[in-house]
Structure 1
Amino acid sequence: MMMNKGFIMLFRELTEWEWYTDINTYKVFTHCLLKVNYSKKRWQGILIQKGEFITSYEKLAVETGLTISKVRTSLKKLDSTGYILVETTVNYTKIGVLRLHDFMAETSTENNSTPNDTRLDKPNSKQLTNESQVIDNQLATTNTNNKTIKNRKKIFRERVFSHSTFNTKILTSFFDYWSELNTDKTTMRFETQRFFEIEKRLPKWLANERPKLESNKKKTELQTNRPTI
């Protein structure tokens, strides 16, 4: 299921991540980045997608040096904030890392390839860009049932409205636009973006919306002040 060779490249922006200073959660998450598959594989009749891997709480505890309780708590934090999806069954636990390319750049893990696709060919820059977009979309729509969509939408709304320095109308219009679902009702608009930082996009959104708000305000004032006949 896993390759122990190769390497991964992390973006420097990871130091600004909300869980970066939570040692246990950061450790569990980076461990997941190292463990995920980078090509589709089958395990005991189950298809494991790119960005997913099969494990257990006990195995993660051994591999990270944390207690099972700490592993469980860290996974719960990551799951509730929309960074991973955890599917637990009687026999195994499957973890999928969502929006993988927000944290790391895909690199070659092996120099050779085999017919059964257990290794990846080293991509050139053009292939890397195209695969990045495809994989990001696949991971963003993993386990896309209605409940998961609702949870992701709720999490996104909470993140947007946590920026209370902005006008409620601005936050509402921003959320309504970026949370719009695709035709299959599986992916929100913002999830199709390779990079998406609310903190950087909100000021730009405000700058674009301000002329509209001022125009609407003037129209309202004109109608209110219009003399009656």
Structure 2
Amino acid sequence: MEGWVKLFRMLLNWEWYKVPYMVHLFIHLILKANHEPRKWQGIAIERGQLLTGRKVLSYETGISEQTIRTCLSRLKSTNEITIKSTSQYSIITICNYESYQEKKDEANHQINQHSNQRLTNDQPTINQPVTTNKNEKNNKNEKNSLFRQRFFSVLEIFYFKNFKNPIAVTNAFFNHYEGIGWKNARGLDIENVESVAENWSNKTTEGTNCPVPLLLKWKVMYDILKNNTDHYTQFLLLRPTKLENGNLFIRGEEKDIQSIEADKALLAVWKNALFMTFGKVNVQYEFEKTIAA
């Protein structure tokens, strides 16, 4: 993304200003919001809106999903944003978006009024057309951003293809296609990310994610979660390693495991899915520093 947004000094008096995560997330939302209406897979996303989800926001900001949820609730309660959610995504609307992002013609008018400001080729006036290359770059960046919002749906595909490190493979997949402008082998625009991922072969990591029989059982459990909770993708950050003597060993980063354990409603759904799939088992966690690339 390119361009700019306005930040007023009155933000210093904002009630959430001393809460770092709130400021971080709110500015991130402003920067990610559409500056003009667009459609993505038939979904209309208006100016001042962004199509996203808690997991995507967590990935983009480095803030835990639980904290994202709390911050969004607070921003909604003070009328900074509105949220329209489905089981697959959320459309967040920045209230008073025009206060943060002026329209292009308004911005150019303000630039022209400053007689002592030297205009360069990088600052086109109203009568100076923007180069095609810059427009193409903006479109490419916006397409990258929209497709990145499908990160977890692609991760799910690679997870159950049993790559040893599905997160690394997912990142390699996005980096590859972002680099070539989301074109297929025939040079045509890619529209369906998941269909391309289904046919993706990658040697970023070798070996398998977990034993095949165990992965098949985990898939059964995952599908149960998929039908019963909006947070099912959280389990793509964990991986079962072995089932032995009634003990199911699960590996993942400590913060991801703690996030599941802290969500009592989610934990109850997971325990039920575990029992339906594996019967009575004792879960043993194996912490690791990172499973990402």
Task: Bin the TM-score by the shorter chain.
Answer: 0.3 to 0.5
TM-score normalized with structure 2 length: 0.36
Which of structures 1 and 2 has the larger relative contact order (alpha carbons within 8 angstroms, sep 6+)?
Answer: 1
TM-score normalized with structure 1 length: 0.45
